[in-house]
Each structure stands twice: as C-alpha cells, then as structure tokens.
Amino acid sequence: MTKHIKRILPISDQMLVSGSHFIIGILLARALGLSVYGVFAVAWMVVLFANSLQQAFILIPMMTFAPQKTKEEKKTYLQHVFFLQLGIIGIATIFTLLFCQLSSHFSPEWNITHLTTVLPFTIILFLIHDFLRKQLYVKENIEVAFILDALAYFPQLLFLAFSYLTNTLTLYKSLWMINAGYLLAILFNLRISLKGFSMMQLREVYQQHWHFAKWLLGKTLLQWFSGNLFIVAAAALLGPVAVGAIRLAQNVMGVVNVFFIAIENYIPIQAAKLYAQEGKAALFHYLKKITWQGGILASFLVAVICTFSAQIILHLYGLSDVESIFLLRGFALLSLVVFIGIPLRFAIRTLEQTQSIFIAYVFSTAFSFCCAYPMVKYWGLWGVISGLIIAQIIMQVWYIVHLRFWSEKSR
C-alpha cells in the first residue's frame, strides 16, 4: 500500500463509520419521533459507557504497546489481549442486564426494560467489532479494517432504510438490525487460536495493562460523569424530548467528529513510534503540527454548521424549533474546545503520564456534580451547553499546566 493511500484510508474508514451513524440517527429520529429517539439515546449511552471502559483498559494500552513490539511479539501479545477483552465484555453484559431491569424502578416512564433481550447483545457485538477494527489498525491492515466496517454498516443501513420506508421501524427492531450488521462483520474477521496461549503470559499482559490503565479506568468513570451528568440532568428535569433533541445535535456533529476519531485511530500509533525513535522534542513538534492542521479544518466545518444550523435541522429532521437550532450551534462550539484536548492527551499518554488525565477529570467531574442539576434546572438547555463547555475548558487548562511543568522538570 502506498504512503498516500495509508493516509487516506483511516479518514475514509472513519467517514464510513461516522457517516453510517449519522444516517442511522436521521432514520431513527424521523421514524421514532423525538421522545422515543430520546430513549434510544439513553440506551446508546450504555453502549458508549461500556466502550469507554474497553478503550481505557484494552484499546488505548494496546495501541501504545503493540507498535513498539517486533512482529512475533506483537502477534502473541494481541492474542492474549483478546482474552482480556472477553473479560471486559462479560462485565459489560452483566452491567447492561442490571441497568435494563433496574430502570423500571427508577424511571418506568422511559420503558427501557423491554430492551433487556436485545441491548446486552448490542453491547457484546459492538465491543467485539471495535476491538477487531482497532487491532487491524495496530497491525496496519487498514484496508481490511475498511472492509470490516463496510460489512458492519452497509447491512445496517439497508435493513433500517427498508424498515423506515415501509413504516415498520421500532426501537426494539432497530437494535436487532444494528446487531445483525456487527455480527456479519465479526464472522468475517474473527479468528480465535489457542496456539501459544499461556496463562502466565496472560497475567503478564493483564499486569502491564493494569499498570498503564489504572488511572485511565478511573478517568473513564469520571469522564462519563463529567460529560453525561448534564445530559442525565436534562433527562430527569426536561424529559426524553430534550434528550432526543440533544442527540440530534450530537448526531450532526458526527460530521466533524469523523476527523477527530480518525486522528484517534492513527496519530497515537505514529506518536508512540516517533517518541521511541526521536524523543520528546520530536513528539511535541509533531503534535503541534497536527493541532494546527486539524484545527483549521475543524474551525471551517464548525463555522459552516453554525451558519446553516437552521437549514440543517429542517432538511435532515424536518424540524424548525429554536431549541434544536441552539443545541446544534452549542455542540459545534463545544467540538472546538474538545479538539484542543486531543493532541494534549496524546502527548500525556505517550509520555505515560496518565495520572494527569485522571486528575483533569477529577476537576471536571467535581464541577459537573456540583453544577449540573442547578444549571439545568434554572437555565434549561443553556445550562446543558454551557456546563459541557466549561467542563472541557477545565480539563484543557490542566493538561497545559501539567505538560509545561513536566517538561521543565525533565530537562
């Protein structure tokens, strides 16, 4: 594969994934209505929560350690990482079952209990699929990763589009259609081999991941509360329609997030290699260049979205309410603040200073715990957007302070 194609494929792959999620969101919102779509958004938050735990304990360490190993070492390492992955899936499945059952006691009006027979399967298949695609990135088999995602998302789009056009799409049915796509992709790529498997080596890999990820796991829990407490408060105080409107705005912003996630898939691996070969100065120079290049592109996309927000909401979802337009502009501004933190986190992770990420989320989560309920109660959707932006700014300031202090101390 040429160097040019190597650069284009990660972005093309993420465009496929994010574009598919974008279209799926439009189909579901139009078919289900804002209220039921809000229920889907809450259910999907559970999927993303499980995925964030997987990211912290499995995927981020894997994408940091694997590029530094020889070909044979990498093969053995990835085999044992897969078995760690199965443990995360088991924990996530149990949590999802408990969530579905207990939701009827705390929020019966949301009617999430009827998803007990489908949502756990969504969790299992989503996590396995995400692990396989990240593993392919580590192996630098990006073209196979693209095929894997195509096999997952094209069937989902076909099933959902047909059901939408025939007016038969329901929340329960939509999750089974999503599951079918992931299952097809997994069957195409999953290869399980016990050859060379060792419980002793599994324990060594577990200890290596735990040493690296213990702060990231804590950070993940804090991140969920920091980023979602305002949405949870909106669900409790403003109802499922408000959550549905928030999800609509987040879905549109997937157009910008495609570049952020593509960076997440590709840049950490290159940063780890560069740091190992050329040191700290080369790492910082590389990440500064990524910040400027990506920032210009992200700013342009956000400016377009803010300018044409009313038209976007109307043509995509058939809505013209002021709240949805406001939320879209608010989340567009939020995405710029989030982008600043991406290369800062890459630097901290590559330098194995992950405790700093944990501390940043302590500050952010403390703010969210103290302010989410009153800000949403008294300011409504204004409180949701402003709270999310302030929480991000708190973290970015801490990252900058920590990196400056660490650089001066390590001279």
The residue ranges of every structural domain in the chain are 3-409
Buried b / exposed e over 359-395, threshold 16 CB at 10 Å, is: bbbbbbbebbeebbbebbeeeebebbbbbbbbbbebb
Q: Say yes or no to pLDDT of 143 above 90.
A: no
Residue 1 pLDDT level (bands cut at 50, 70, 90): low
Q: In which residue are the tokens 């700290």 written?
A: 280
Residues 6+ apart with CB under 8 A from 200: none
Structure tokens at 91: 């924990």
How far is residue 9 CA from its own chain's centroid? 19
Contact at 8 Å (CB) between 30 and 317? yes
**274 φ, ψ (degrees, to nearest 5):** -65, -40
**148 φ, ψ (degrees, to nearest 5):** -55, -45
Q: How many CA atoms lie within 13 A of 81 on its CB side?
A: 27
The DSSP output letter for 70 is -
Distance CA 94, CA 99 (A): 9
Q: Identify the CA nearest to 291 among candidates 263, 270, 265, 262.
A: 263
| More confidently predicted of 47 and 241 | 47
pLDDT at 157: 96
DSSP three-state, residue 340: helix
Comparing 260-269, 284-293, 335-344, 394-403, the range with the smallest average pLDDT is 260-269
pLDDT at 163: 95
Comparing 9-13, 23-27, 279-283, 294-298, the range with the smallest average pLDDT is 279-283
How far is residue 58 CA from its own chain's centroid? 14
- Give tens-digit pLDDT for 144-186: 889 999 999 999 999 999 999 999 999 999 999 999 999 999 9
Residues 6+ apart with CB under 8 A from 378: none
- Sign of CA pseudo-dihedral 142, 147, 148, 152: positive
How far is residue 116 CA from its own chain's centroid? 23
Cα first-last separation, the chain: 40
Long-range contacts, 57-60 (Cβ 8 Å, 24+): 57/84, 57/88, 57/209, 57/210, 57/213, 57/216, 57/217, 58/84, 58/85, 58/88, 58/131, 58/209, 59/130, 59/131, 59/134, 60/212, 60/213, 60/216, 60/268, 60/349
Structure tokens at 220: 């993940």
How large is the average pLDDT for residues 71-95?
85
The percent of the chain in helix, strand and coil, each rounded to the nearest 5, is 90, 0, 10
The DSSP output letter for 373 is H
Q: Say yes or no to pLDDT of 325 above 80.
A: yes
Helix (H) or strand (E) holding 207: helix 199-238
Residue 197 pLDDT level (bands cut at 50, 70, 90): low
For the chain, the average pLDDT equals: 85
Q: Say yes or no to pLDDT of 262 above 80.
A: no
Is the overall model pTM greater than 0.85, yes or no? Answer: no
User: Residue 403: exposed, middle, or buried by beta-carbon count in 10 A (0-12, 13-18, 19+)?
Assistant: middle
Structure tokens at 61: 């360490």
Residue 410 pLDDT level (bands cut at 50, 70, 90): low
Q: How many CB atoms lie within 10 A of CB 288?
A: 12
How far is residue 138 CA from its own chain's centroid? 18
Q: Say yes or no to pLDDT of 194 above 60.
A: no
Q: Say yes or no to pLDDT of 398 above 70.
A: yes
**Percent of the chain scoring above 70 in pLDDT:** 92
pLDDT at 220: 77
Distance CA 346, CA 132 (A): 22
- Give tens-digit pLDDT for 7-57: 677 778 877 888 898 899 999 999 998 889 988 998 998 898 899 889 888
Residues 6+ apart with CB under 8 A from 169: 27, 28, 31, 32, 160, 163
Distance CA 132, CA 148 (A): 8
Q: Say yes or no to pLDDT of 193 above 60.
A: no
How far is residue 75 CA from its own chain's centroid? 26
* Range ranked top by mean pLDDT from 13-22, 58-67, 120-129: 120-129
* Range ranked top by mean pLDDT from 104-113, 182-191, 345-354: 182-191
Q: Say yes or no to pLDDT of 224 above 60.
A: yes
Residues 6+ apart with CB under 8 A from 8: none
pLDDT at 211: 83
pLDDT at 131: 92
Distance CA 387, CA 168 (A): 38
Q: Say yes or no to pLDDT of 289 above 60.
A: yes
Residues 6+ apart with CB under 8 A from 305: 252, 253, 255, 256, 312, 328, 329, 332
